[in-house]
Chains A and B, each alone.
Chain A
């Protein structure tokens, strides 16, 4: 397994500033996007990104090539930090058996780009937590179904079930409520 980030970690452990800067350039936007969509709150997402980097710096020297892909490990760290915050808010459930959600968004005919983004983030926040997680990992983070299922600790079939329910619910929350891209 070739890990595209593997070469940076020994250099980071030595305090190589170029490698450190490269890692931040590659991963900060990705981490911030993951946490923002998981938590629906930019400030909290920034805290999660910072904390994840502290762990990256700490573990760089101990990184064992070939055992796990660095990007997958980093996602697991960030997701765990997000879970902690969602649990504190009582918004996270390990089991997710909810089928349909109640759409309560107010339809608006003409939305600005910012309003549209806010609506999409609000709709994501209203998804049951496991559906939201599956959609974010597969769609926005562009992880493979195997990587996403591994991170979530579920089978591919279970991931696909969560994904199709997540998309169905997003359709209800957005398209059926008049939020469109036109």
Chain B
């Protein structure tokens, strides 16, 4: 690599050499021993534009948008346990009427149904006033 090629790379990819093609990054070390001042000048020329481009931050996706996207996702295939939950309440109630097992048995049946059919996910989360971060963690590495 010569100083002209270095300047061209700066003008193309900016001052952060981590954004440069890997093969070009590998050649910088050798050049810097002989042309440090020229290289510094070329990098400085692009630094301010990079800082401006970096200043363009965007707002995080809204909770409403995340909820709509989650609601459009495939739903979990019904498991055997969930399929059984359809007739568990009838069984529980029938137990009360027919065998006189007592109220405790019916309550236990209903509690079991409740456990098996608890809601899976986030649809309607926006309606409950949840923030985006309560629905999903977007982390810090976006902009």
Which residues of A does B touch, CB under 8 Å?
12-17, 20-21, 24-25, 28-30, 32-33, 36-37, 42, 46, 49-50, 53-54, 57, 60, 113, 116-117, 120-121, 124, 138-140, 142, 144-145, 160, 163-164, 167-168, 170-171, 174-175, 179-181
**A180 touching B75 in the complex, CB below 8 Å, given contacts A21-B70, A33-B58:** no
| Interface contact B19-A142, CB-CB below 8 Å | yes
| Interface contact A29-B70, CB-CB below 8 Å | no
**Can you list 28 A-B pairs with a CB-CB distance of less than 8 A?**
A15-B74, A16-B76, A17-B76, A24-B66, A24-B136, A28-B65, A29-B58, A32-B58, A32-B65, A37-B56, A46-B61, A49-B61, A53-B72, A113-B55, A116-B52, A139-B19, A140-B53, A142-B19, A145-B13, A164-B12, A167-B12, A167-B46, A167-B49, A168-B11, A170-B52, A175-B48, A181-B48, A181-B52
For residue B112, CB closer than 8 A to chain A, the reply is: no
Task: Pick from B46, B52, B66, B72: contact of A179, CB below 8 A.
Answer: B52
Main secondary structure of the interface of A (DSSP, over half): helix
Which residues of B does A touch, CB under 8 Å?
8, 11-14, 19, 21, 46, 48-49, 51-53, 55-62, 65-66, 68-70, 72-77, 120-122, 136-139, 142-143
| Interface contact B21-A145, CB-CB below 8 Å | yes
Assembled-state Cα–Cα distance A33/B26 (Å)? 30
Assembled-state Cα–Cα distance A142/B13 (Å)? 11
- List A contacts of B121 (CB < 8 A): 17, 20-21
| Interface contact B48-A180, CB-CB below 8 Å | yes
CB distance from B42 to the nearest CB of A (A): 13
CB distance from A52 to the nearest CB of B (A): 9
| Interface contact B61-A29, CB-CB below 8 Å | yes
